[in-house]
Amino acid sequence: MSSSVASFGKHASTAEEEAYLHIQRALRLGRYKPGERLIPEDIAAEIGMSRMPVREAFRRLASEGLVVLRPNRGCIVAGLTVDELYEIFEMRSVLEGLAVRLAIPRIDEEELEELDRLLERMERAGNSGGSDWVARHQEFHGRICALSRRPKLIHQISALHAVIEPYMRIWFDYVEKPVSAREEHAAVIAALRSGDARHAELVMQDHILGTAPMLAEFVTPSR
C-alpha cells in the first residue's frame, strides 16, 4: 500500500493504460529481445483492442527509454550498449544516493526491521528459484527510495529500474547466486541505521556502481 513506485501495483482504468502496463511488464520480464520489432496490430490483438491505444502506449514507453520509435519505421525494443548500461547505473547511483540521504531523517526502527525482513525474503527467493530474486531486489531498492517521500524522484528511479530489469534477469540466470549481494544490502541497511546521511548516500552509491560491471558482461552487443 505504501509503495508508490510507478512500476508496481497499478491496474488499468483505460485501454491505453492496459496496453502500457502489458507491454512494460513483458519488456521487464525480457519477453522481447532488444532490437525486436513490436507490431501494434499483434499486441492490440493480444490484449483485445485496436492499434490506437497501443500506439499511445508506445509514446510513453519511448519517453521512458524502454522502446525506440522512429518515424515510419515502427517500434523496436531498446537495447543497451555497455556504455548506456553504465550510464544508467551512474544516474541510479546519484539519484538513489540522494533518496537515501533524504530518507535518513525520516527513518524509524520499524521501517528498518521491515527492510531486514525483506532482505531475508530476498535471500530465500535467491535460493529457491531465480527470477523472483530480481523482483525482491527491486522491491528492496524501491522501498528505500520510497522513504525519501519524493514522488518525482521515486518515479525516475523506478523508470531506470525498468530499463535494466531484463539485464538483471539475464545476469541472475547465468551466475549461480549473487554472493556479495547479501552483504552489500546488509551494509546498506546498516548505513541507514547509522543515521549519517552523507555516509549512507556514499554506501548506496558504491553499492550501485559496484553492480554495473557484473551486469555489463551480459549486455548483448546488439547494436
Partner DNA sequence: ACCTGGCTTTTTGTATCCACTTATCCAATC
Partner DNA sequence: GATTGGATAAGTGGATACAAAAAGCCAGGT
Q: Enumerate binding residues for DNA (CB under 7 A).
A: 14-16, 37, 39-41, 44, 49-53, 55-56, 69-75
67 is an interface residue for a second copy by CB under 8 A: no
Instruction: State phi, psi for 17 to the nearest 5 degrees.
Output: -60, -40
The amino acid sitting at 55 is: R
Question: Quick check: 212 and 89 in contact, CB under 8 A?
Answer: yes
Residue 13 CB-density burial (10 A; 0-12 exposed, 13-18 middle, 19+ buried): exposed
89 phi/psi in degrees, rounded to 5:
-70, -35
Closest CA to 58 of 86, 94, 97, 23: 23
- SS3 assignment, position 93: helix
Contact between 73 and a second copy by CB under 8 A: the answer reads no
- State the minimum distance, in angstroms, from the CB of residue 35 to DNA: 13
Asked if residue 68 binds a second copy (CB under 8 A), the reply is no
- The number of residues in the chain equals 223
Return the DSSP state at 147.
T
Nearer to DNA, 19 or 99 (CB): 19
Binds 219: which of DNA, a second copy, none (CB < 5-8 Å by kind): none
- CA 72 to chain CA mean position, Å: 30
40 binds, among DNA, a second copy, none (CB under 5 to 8 A by kind): DNA
Binding to a second copy in span 81-140, by CB under 8 A: 84, 87-88, 90-91, 94-95, 97-98, 102
Residue 51 touches which of a second copy, DNA, none (CB < 5 to 8 A by kind)? DNA
Q: Which residues bind a second copy (CB under 8 A)?
A: 13-14, 16-17, 55-57, 59-60, 62-65, 71-72, 84, 87-88, 90-91, 94-95, 97-98, 102, 150-153, 156
